[in-house]
């Protein structure tokens, strides 16, 4: 039997600043190195049959960083959106930006919309970049959107399945695997709802050094996990049987 591949992998790309400081480089050089790493990882995920990838690029708490660093991160984000569209289209990648966009400049908001529209028809892999994102914000905005469009009565009758479409990830599958680089062992307010039953993989490797070999190590680790979803393991066996030719 082939190793089980997660449908949705989320990356907390930690360690850019430490990578730069270890090389006596400015912090922005670490962020630039981290941005360059994204392309290879996303391509490798697509080649391995992963359908959804979410990257934690900028949290709602990251505005507390030095103003110059934040400004450089916004410039880097703009540069990525301008330069990567052709490559995303060539690889069949649909780009979505999740998070509260209102704090971004009008130019950046416009670039986000253009990038999403330009890649909207791609279906090999969906890449979601979480920018000005927080998991608590996501749940709150989902409830507020639902109440605004359906009324408070809809909130009072809400169940988990009904809330899912209103989250910023929309109809994406739940997160199967969260990978955090940089040695920290926490999820830092990232995809709290979506990753409720995700496997959590922590590595000391800094994000700019996280390559295809490290990705494959994480996927092998994931394949060895016994995901019970609060049960006794039979749920996973039923899912495997349904996915196999014999169970079709």
In this prediction, residue 55 carries a pLDDT of 98
122 marked as binding residue: no
Catalytic site includes residue 87? no
15 marked as binding residue: yes
221 marked as binding residue: no
In this prediction, residue 223 carries a pLDDT of 95
In this prediction, residue 241 carries a pLDDT of 52
HEC string of 55-108? Answer: EEEEEHHHHHCCHHHHHHHHHHHHHHHHHCHHHHHHCCEEEEEECCHHHCCHHH
Structure tokens at 1: 């039997």
52 marked as binding residue: no
**CA 186, 163, 9: angle at the middle one, nearest 5?**
40
SS3 percent helix, strand, coil of the chain, rounded to 5, is 50, 15, 35
Q: Is the pTM of this model over 0.85?
A: yes
Question: In DSSP terms, which residues pair with 75 in a beta bridge?
Answer: none
* Structural domains in the chain plus CATH codes: 8-247 (3.40.1180.10)
Mark the ranges of the chain whose per-residue pLDDT is less than 70: 1-3, 231-248
Catalytic site includes residue 123? no
> Phi, psi (5° rounding) for residue 13?
-85, 75
Collapsing DSSP states into helix, strand and coil, what is residue 155? Answer: helix
206: left (phi over 0), alpha (psi -120 to 50) or beta: beta
**Spatial CA neighbour of 8 closest among 125, 176, 164, 170:** 176
């Amino acid at each position: 039997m082939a190793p089980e591949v997660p449908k949705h992998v989320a990356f907390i790309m930690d360690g850019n600043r430490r990578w730069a400081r270890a090389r006596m480089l400015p912090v922005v050089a670490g962020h630039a190195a981290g941005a360059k790493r994204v392309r290879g990882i996303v391509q490798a995920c697509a080649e391995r049959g992963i359908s959804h990838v979410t990257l934690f690029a900028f949290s709602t708490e990251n505005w507390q960083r030095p103003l110059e660093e934040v400004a450089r991160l916004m410039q880097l984000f703009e540069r990525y959106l301008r330069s990567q569209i052709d490559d995303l289209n060539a690889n069949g990648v649909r780009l979505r930006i999740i998070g509260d966009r209102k704090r971004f400049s009008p130019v950046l908001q416009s670039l986000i919309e253009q990038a999403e529209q330009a890649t909207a028809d791609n279906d090999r892999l969906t890449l979601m970049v979480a920018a000005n994102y927080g998991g608590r914000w996501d749940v709150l905005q989902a409830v507020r959107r639902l109440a605004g469009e359906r009324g408070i009565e809809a909130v009072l009758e809400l169940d988990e399945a009904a809330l899912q479409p209103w989250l910023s990830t929309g109809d994406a599958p739940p997160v199967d695997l969260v990978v955090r680089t940089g040695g920290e062992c926490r999820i830092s307010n990232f995809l709290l709802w979506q990753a409720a039953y995700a496997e959590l993989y922590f590595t000391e490797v800094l994000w700019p050094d996280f390559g295809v070999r490290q990705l494959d190590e994480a996927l092998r680790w994931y394949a060895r996990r016994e995901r019970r979803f609060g049960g006794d393991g039979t749920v996973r066996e039923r899912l495997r049987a349904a996915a196999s030719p014999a169970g079709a």
